[in-house]
């Protein structure tokens, strides 16, 4: 019963959409489950097309994969419907009865809160306000909305039955380890636990069911909003290195810093991954761009990857070398 959990290793923006869309095409999962909420966007690039999704699972490029939204997830109905149309996934998106629904009042409450918007740097999507209502047991759930009736399903049952049949399930985490409400740079964090253990709890599967945990790091560190960022570069330094990025949801410039091995080691401690994925290798080694075989990577790039693997004590199995989902060096089952 293969169950793969995909987790962000830093502060989000590590390339989870790229890795998961690649896995959808190569590994062909039966089910992909999205956790988290609409304050985290995942970007999928495939064959000169780009999608930015906030609640639809990033496995949508595989038309055979069932796309599910976890009972622990929070979303707005308008965002869901728009993404179903944009991704052409109508008829294969399923929502758990207990998924939480963000309403306009939650967005308005959050955007009126100066502490959240200015000090913390909230995305202003109503997620925190909706989570408060959920804790107080007054949040409306998916089962309360007529427009979702035809999409409702028991996600924990579907996932566990698929696993019992020996089919692959991918659980898609959001944001990153150090935005975790419990393990992140509090108070500059999100409203949930974003580590592997928190992610699977949102879906309704046992930790004993997990086969693989893929922890994703980008070749440099970035974060949106306030909070500490060790080694942060000045904007002009980031531009000189070609590391200028904008957040998928907010459009704000991401703050950036070089790869931080100490942060990575702590992320490994918190998540206990079986594999590591590194994205944007081409940002450090431009000659690696678009390469799809280990032997095609520059010597220095291979040394850098091997050093990361040795330092962390976990094999690096997936290496992103470009924007397209298929620009990937896949070392699973191979010796370097």
Q: Which residues are the active-site residues? A: 13, 42
Binding residues, as ranges, are 12-18, 39-43, 123, 137, 175, 190, 248-254, 280-282, 320-322
Residues 6+ apart with CB under 8 A from 297: 281, 285, 288, 291, 305, 319, 321, 329
Binding residues for substrate, as ranges, are 248-254
Which token pair is 183?
């393990």
* E strand or H helix at 311: helix 299-312
Binding residues for Mg(2+), as ranges, are 13, 41
Residues 6+ apart with CB under 8 A from 15: 216, 218, 277, 279, 280, 320
Q: In whole angstroms, give the CA distance from residue 169 to residue 160.
A: 9
Q: In whole angstroms, give the CA distance from residue 326 to residue 194.
A: 26
Which token pair is 156?
């924990």
Binding residues for IMP, as ranges, are 13-16, 39-42, 123, 137, 175, 190, 252
Binding residues for GTP, as ranges, are 12-18, 41-43, 254, 280-282, 320-322
Angle (nearest 5°) at CA 277 between 276 and 280: 145
């Amino acid at each position: 019963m293969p169950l793969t959990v995909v987790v962000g290793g830093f502060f989000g923006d590590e390339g989870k959409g790229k890795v998961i869309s690649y896995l959808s095409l190569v590994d062909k999962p039966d089910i992909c489950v999205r956790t988290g909420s609409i304050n985290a966007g995942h970007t999928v690039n495939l064959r000169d097309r780009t999608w930015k999704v906030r609640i639809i699972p990033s496995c949508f490029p595989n038309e055979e994969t069932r796309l599910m939204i976890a009972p622990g997830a929070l979303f707005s109905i308008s965002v869901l419907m728009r993404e179903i149309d944009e991704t052409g996934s109508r008829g294969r998106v399923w929502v758990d009865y207990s998924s939480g629904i963000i309403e306009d009042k939650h967005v308005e409450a959050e955007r009126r809160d100066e502490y959240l918007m200015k000090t913390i740097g909230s995305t202003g999507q109503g997620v925190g306000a909706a989570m408060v209502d959920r804790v107080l047991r007054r949040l409306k759930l998916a089962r309360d909305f007529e427009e979702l009736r035809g999409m409702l399903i028991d996600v924990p049952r579907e996932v566990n039955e698929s696993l019992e049949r020996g089919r692959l399930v991918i659980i898609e985490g959001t944001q990153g380890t150090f935005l975790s409400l419990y393990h992140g740079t509090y108070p500059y964090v999100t409203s949930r636990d974003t580590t592997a253990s928190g992610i699977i709890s949102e879906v309704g599967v046992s930790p004993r069911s997990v086969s693989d945990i893929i922890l994703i790091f980008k070749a440099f560190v970035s974060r949106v909003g306030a909070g500490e960022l060790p080694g942060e570069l000045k904007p002009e330094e980031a531009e000189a290195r070609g590391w200028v990025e904008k957040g998928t949801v907010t459009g704000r410039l991401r703050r950036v810093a070089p790869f931080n091995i100490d942060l990575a080691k702590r992320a490994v401690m918190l998540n206990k991954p079986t594999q590591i994925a590194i994205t944007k290798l081409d940002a450090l080694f431009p000659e690696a761009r678009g390469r799809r075989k280990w032997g095609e990577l520059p010597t220095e790039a291979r040394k850098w990857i091997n050093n990361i693997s040795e330092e962390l004590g976990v094999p690096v199995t997936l290496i992103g070398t470009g924007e397209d989902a298929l620009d990937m060096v896949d070392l699973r089952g191979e010796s370097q």
